[in-house]
Amino acid sequence: MPVDHFPSTHATWLDAQLTIAEDGDRAVADGDAAGAERAAAARDAIRRHAMERYAVPLGAYVSATGLRASGERDELVSGFFAGPMADDAFFRRWRAGGMPLRRWLMNAMSFHCRSVRRDAARERGREAGGGAADHAMQSAVESDAAMAFDRAWALSIVNEAYARVQDELASSRREGEDEVLRMHVIDGMPYEDVARALGMSRAECFNAVRRTAARIREAVRDLLREEGVSNSDLEAALAEVMRLVEG
């Protein structure tokens, strides 16, 4: 992962790794055998990143009622990571399509579940699916699954953003601002009680929370950019994340 957690440009780490992989492929074509190792390392890094961020949201998605019939949750997720996502072209197609990463992965997992269910039906000697009623029921199930995925994804994004801000505050020796935020926002303590407990003024506590909350929102924006959200859609996506977490 990048050392700079808060890049000043819009060139994301995912874009950089994909470029390294593509450059490695071109190097191989030009006779540089070492290019294959560079390309493989970049793709492996992308997959690890996706697994770390998306294992829980994808697990929530396949755990939704109805999709469980496709198989065990952990088997479906690990099968997705080892199958569709292991294709070298998987993330290249994502970048070319311009879709936010979470939607790309959710759609790909949906196809994977349907494929697993279809294969299981064939093994039982019948076709999967059974008409308009089944299709309508499946649509409702997928809608519930998508909501479960979105909620788990939003929580993972906010938690990752908060962890980045905590690291930033610790590196600049401003851990006290994080303590104020946790006491007021997480523990629900009034500013007056926080100020008394930490030997600060109410205004200092208020400003610390405001600064830290603003930095978390900016870290969420950084993560959304990494997900492929365009600048024009960034504020709407940020509002959606906050709504999902609060909900």
Is residue 136 pLDDT above 50, yes or no?
Answer: no
Is residue 8, in this structure, part of any structural domain at all?
no
Is residue 59, in this structure, part of any structural domain at all?
yes
- Considering only CA atoms, which of 169, 157, 150 is closest in space to residue 221? 157
Task: State pLDDT tens for residues 41-79.
Answer: 999 999 999 999 999 999 999 887 566 666 788 889 999
- Considering only CA atoms, which of 244, 46, 45 is closest in space to residue 156? 244
Which H helix or E strand runs over 16? helix 13-29
pLDDT of residue 139: 58
Is residue 7 pLDDT above 50, yes or no?
Answer: no
* Stretch 21-39: mean pLDDT: 92
**Residue 228 region by backbone torsions, left for phi larger than 0, else alpha for psi between -120 and 50, else beta:** left
> Per-residue DSSP letters for 235-247?
HHHHHHHHHHHH-
- Using alpha carbons only, give the angle 89, 53, 228 rounded to the nearest 5 degrees: 55
- How many other C-beta atoms lie within 10 A of the C-beta of residue 59? 17
* Stretch 132-154: mean pLDDT: 71
Domains in the chain, number: 1
Q: What Cα–Cα distance (Å) separates residue 184 from each residue in 88, 169, 198?
A: 46, 17, 12
Torsion sign over Cα 34, 36, 39, 43: negative
**pLDDT-derived band of residue 203, with 50, 70 and 90 as boundaries?**
very high
Is residue 7, in this structure, part of any structural domain at all?
no
Q: Mean pLDDT score of the chain, rounded to an integer?
A: 85
Is residue 28, in this structure, part of any structural domain at all?
yes
Distance from the Cα of residue 18 to its chain's centroid: 17
pLDDT of residue 5: 35
Is residue 192 pLDDT above 80, yes or no?
Answer: yes
- Considering only CA atoms, which of 162, 35, 17, 160 is closest in space to residue 92? 17
Is residue 201 pLDDT above 90, yes or no?
Answer: yes
Domain carrying residue 136: 13-246
pLDDT of residue 15: 86
Is residue 130, in this structure, part of any structural domain at all?
yes
Is residue 5, in this structure, part of any structural domain at all?
no
The total number of residues shown for the chain amounts to: 247
DSSP 8: S
Is residue 69, in this structure, part of any structural domain at all?
yes
Is residue 154, in this structure, part of any structural domain at all?
yes
Q: What is the 3-state secondary structure (H, E, C) of 157-174?
A: HHHHHHHHHHHHHHHCCC
